[in-house]
Structure 1
Amino acid sequence: MNRGLFLLACVSGFLAVAFGAFGAHGLKQLVSAEMLGVFRLAVEYQFYHTFALMAVALAKPWVDSPLLNWAARLFIAGMLLFCGSLYALVLTGHKWLGPITPLGGMCLLAGWLLLAAGVWRSRGAQ
């Protein structure tokens, strides 16, 4: 197990719950229903990729590939860019953050591909 990565996933999970609660209770009266939906989307994707980070951390003993490290890095970058830009967009209203979101989405997609490639090419335990 990659202990540091698993710990980072735990922190990300904590933050996703906190952001989700903030979105459900604190933002309801402050932003439009559309922006609330955007915030919820960011929370959902943060959760999905928190679990992906946990999977990468736990797969270390069975999947012997440096591609796992790259997948984790891309998941982290993707969460920061995709989820972070959506959170910031909702909280600040700055529309210029919009173009950052697809870059984060590309990182998330690439992370999944590298995770799959790492498992495929692994010489770890069967």
Structure 2
Amino acid sequence: MSKIFVILGSLFMILGVGAGAFGAHGLSSYFEKFPNLAGTYDTAVRYHVYHALGLFAAAWLADKYPVSLTTWGGYLLLAGILIFSGSLYLLVFTRQSWLGAITPIGGVAFIAGWGCLLLAAWRA
């Protein structure tokens, strides 16, 4: 399981760094037209990268504490990236504000993922 989380963490770090660079360089004229979306994009990238790093923590914990809670924790962090950051990326590019209603589901996945990792370490 740890290998999967290292691979996913690496992949999502690559995508996160790319998204950050794209936002800083490729979207500057877009954000001049829609300045209120720049902060939303920044939040999406920040949480994307933070939790991609969290996948490395999940990988380490999966080796140290090979229980189902570590697996759940890693997959919940992954779900959080896809739902939280993904909904914000879509909101920025489609300007469909209703997508913001989906974002908290990803936030709950982040919290649950970290909670699972906490419980795995606590119970070990």
Q: TM-score range by the shorter chain?
A: over 0.9
2:70 aligned with 1:75, yes or no?
Answer: no
Deviation beyond 3 Å, 4+ runs, structure 1: none
The residue number in structure 1 matching 2:57 is: 55
Q: 2:106 aligns with which of 104, 107, 110?
A: 104
The residue number in structure 2 matching 1:27 is: 27
The residue number in structure 1 matching 2:10 is: 10
Q: For 1:8 and 1:86, locate their aligned partners in 2 and report how far apart those are by CA, in whole Å.
A: 20
Q: Contact 1:9–1:54 at 8 Å: present in 2 too? A: yes
Q: For 1:98 and 1:76, locate their aligned partners in 2 and report how far apart those are by CA, in whole Å.
A: 19
Runs of 5+ consecutive residues of structure 1 not aligned to the other structure: none
Matched to 2:30, the amino acid is L
Give the root-mean-square deviation of aligned CA atoms.
1.2
Deviation at 1:66, TM superposition (A): 1.2
Q: Secondary structure at the match of 2:66?
A: coil
The residue number in structure 2 matching 1:114 is: 116
Q: Secondary structure at the match of 1:60?
A: helix
Q: Contact 2:62–2:71 at 8 Å: present in 1 too? A: no
Q: Secondary structure at the match of 2:46?
A: helix
Deviation at 1:60, TM superposition (A): 2.2
Q: Which moved more, 1:77-86 or 1:61-70?
A: 61-70
Q: For 1:82 and 1:60, locate their aligned partners in 2 and report how far apart those are by CA, in whole Å.
A: 24
The residue number in structure 1 matching 2:87 is: 85
Deviation at 1:5, TM superposition (A): 1.5
Q: For 1:89 and 1:33, locate their aligned partners in 2 and report how far apart those are by CA, in whole Å.
A: 13
Q: Contact 2:61–2:117 at 8 Å: present in 1 too? A: no
User: Normalising to structure 1: TM-score of the pair?
Assistant: 0.92
Q: Contact 1:65–1:119 at 8 Å: present in 2 too? A: no
Deviations 1:19-55 (A, max 9, x none): 0011101111113332111101111101110111011
User: Normalising to structure 2: TM-score of the pair?
Assistant: 0.93
